[in-house]
């Protein structure tokens, strides 16, 4: 499940063999793991390693690198607001450097999306089942359709107390799709246009987005599946990073606090083998063009 790299710097070059194996493993639903990468915080930045600054109504403190916009936080002075933006912007740049060096085939096609900081302990957090990331799921977003693009994420466990980030990782996407697609109704004609008109969604919700969102929700709602699906526990130590395509890899975050995450979007045509994408797998199963 893991391909491990001994990399110690975010801008370190990789061999051609490493690059080839990384794309192959990533597209086969594996996780790229970096146990020795350091992301150091200044004394001023270490103050943010506290849930005190997180808006209790938001899952993350979020930052958009393209617009230099920060939200989901509270109790920040003007100076701290600048310092937190600087920290998250630096993480975004480091994550892009890592992906650019390891996955150069992807880099020109990547869209840099949201940077997130999750300072709240997962264990014991109360939420609705749809928002409960302790349940196995593949990523899909109700208000932000991605229209078939891959979701590539770079995570970093910045926990200062040595606590692991603990995941459960589940079945291959094709098996997940075969399990849940028969339970899902086709989208109602006109719904996607109405959602866009009412600004409930930020872009047009394609049939692909409909099926992915329904798979996400059905997975989380099925208690029996959560218990009985093939799965394994993976522990990511403090001071480690990992890269994963979260629209493909069924995952659940069970324990941990203080996580950095950078999201990228990748068009399927930029993949080495786009038949492995959730889009092409769903199109094969349904016999339909979904975007």
Task: Report d(CA 17, CA 4) in Å as an integer.
Answer: 13
- Phi, psi of 154, deg, nearest 5: -115, 115
Nearest to 49 by CA among 40, 59, 58, 38: 40
* Beta strand spans in 31-84 (E): 31-34, 61-64, 69-71
What proportion of the chain, given as a percentage, has pLDDT over 90? 94
User: pLDDT-based confidence at 165, cuts 50/70/90?
Assistant: very high
pTM score: 0.96
- CA atoms of 128 and 141, how far apart (whole Å): 15
Residues 166 and 233 sit within 8 Å (Cβ to Cβ): yes
The overall average pLDDT reported for the chain is 96
What's the chain's length in residues? 291
Question: How many Cβ atoms are within 10 Å of 172's Cβ, its own excluded?
Answer: 16
Contact between 235 and 164 (Cβ < 8 Å): yes
185-205 per-position pLDDT tens digit: 999 999 999 899 898 999 999
Structurally, at CATH architecture level, domain 2-286 sits in Sandwich (2.60)
Query: 127: pLDDT confidence band, cut at 50, 70 and 90?
Result: confident
Q: pLDDT tens for residues 215-268?
A: 999 999 999 999 999 999 999 999 999 999 999 999 999 999 999 999 999 999
Q: Write down the domain spans for the chain.
A: 2-286
Report the pLDDT averaged over residues 5-13: 97
* Token pair 């005190």: residue: 52
pLDDT of res. 59: 82
Lowest mean pLDDT among 28-32, 108-112, 157-161, 200-204: 200-204
Q: What is the pLDDT at residue 126?
A: 80
- Segment 131-158 mean pLDDT: 96
Find the angle CA(204)-CA(209)-CA(213) to the nearest 5 degrees.
Answer: 130
Q: Which pLDDT does position 124 carry in this prediction? A: 80
């Amino acid at each position: 499940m893991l391909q491990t790299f001994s990399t110690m710097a975010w801008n370190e070059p990789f061999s051609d063999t490493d690059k080839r194996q990384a794309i192959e493993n990533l597209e086969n639903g594996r996780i790229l793991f970096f146990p020795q990468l350091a992301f150091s915080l200044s004394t001023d930045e270490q103050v943010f390693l506290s849930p005190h600054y997180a808006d209790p109504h938001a899952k993350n403190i979020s930052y958009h690198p393209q617009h230099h916009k920060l939200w989901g936080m509270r109790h920040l002075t003007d100076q701290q607001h600048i310092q937190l933006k600087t920290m998250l912007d630096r993480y975004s740049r480091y994550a892009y450097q890592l992906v650019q060096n390891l996955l150069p085939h992807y880099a020109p096609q990547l869209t840099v999306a949201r940077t997130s900081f999750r300072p709240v302990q997962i264990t014991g957090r109360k939420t609705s089942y749809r928002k409960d990331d302790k349940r196995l799921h593949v990523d899909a977003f109700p208000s932000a359709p991605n229209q078939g693009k891959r979701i590539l994420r770079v995570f970093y466990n910045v926990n200062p107390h040595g606590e692991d980030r603990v995941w459960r990782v589940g079945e291959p996407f094709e098996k997940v799709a075969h399990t849940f697609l028969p339970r899902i109704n086709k989208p109602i004609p006109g719904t996607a246009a109405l959602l866009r008109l009412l600004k409930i969604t930020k872009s047009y919700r394609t049939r692909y987005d409909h099926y992915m969102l329904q798979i996400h929700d059905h997975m989380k709602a099925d208690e029996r599946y959560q218990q009985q699906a093939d799965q394994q526990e993976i522990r990511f130590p403090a001071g480690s990073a990992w890269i994963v395509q979260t629209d493909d890899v069924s995952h659940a975050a069970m324990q941990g606090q203080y996580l950095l995450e950078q999201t990228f979007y990748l068009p399927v045509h930029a993949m080495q083998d786009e038949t492995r994408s959730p889009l092409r797998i769903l199109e094969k199963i349904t016999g339909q063009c979904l975007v």
